[in-house]
């Protein structure tokens, strides 16, 4: 069992989730149960799945939850794209978030690959 608080990928995803919550406060009220909810759910799913994977037994389970987190990162990235195209995010916010999701997906991919490599060495 790993302590997820020690993982940079968890720290990054948690910070990004907080940022998403803050930015979506300005979304139109009619989106509260639509895009706002979907984006928040997808973003918060990333650190939650990392934490859950760390609480499971063994690297295989951790890798499975990291893959789920990666899927959620892709989903949230799409919702950011949609929010930008709908005009709910200004160009600078959209670009910054998009780049943060690229970096987060790279971190998740590298962690997943490390677990695969470690498993292959055994």
User: Mean pLDDT in each 10-residue stretch from start to end of the chain (122 residues)?
Assistant: 91 98 96 96 98 93 97 98 96 96 97 89 72
d(CA 121, CA 63): 16
d(CA 51, CA 65): 9
SS3 57: coil
Angular region, 33: left φ>0, alpha ψ -120 to 50, beta rest = alpha
pLDDT at 118: 83
d(CA 77, CA 43): 9
Nearest to 116 by CA among 74, 67, 68: 67
pLDDT at 119: 78
pLDDT at 98: 95
pLDDT at 120: 80
CATH topology of domain 4-121: de novo design (two linked rop proteins) (1.20.1440)
Residues in the chain: 122
122 secondary structure, DSSP code: -
pTM of the predicted model as reported, rounded to 2 decimal places: 0.94
């Amino acid at each position: 069992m790993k302590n997820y608080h020690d993982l940079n990928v968890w720290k990054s995803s948690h910070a990004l989730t907080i940022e998403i919550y803050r930015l979506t406060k300005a979304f139109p009220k009619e989106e509260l149960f639509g895009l706002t909810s979907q984006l928040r759910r997808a973003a918060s799913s990333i650190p939650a799945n990392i934490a859950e994977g760390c609480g499971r037994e063994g690297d295989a389970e951790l890798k499975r939850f990291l893959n789920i987190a990666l899927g959620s990162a892709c989903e949230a990235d799409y919702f950011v794209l949609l929010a930008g195209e709908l005009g709910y995010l200004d160009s600078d916010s959209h670009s910054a978030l998009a780049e943060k999701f690229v970096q987060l997906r790279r971190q998740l991919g590298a962690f997943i690959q490390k677990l695969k490599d470690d498993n292959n060495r055994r």
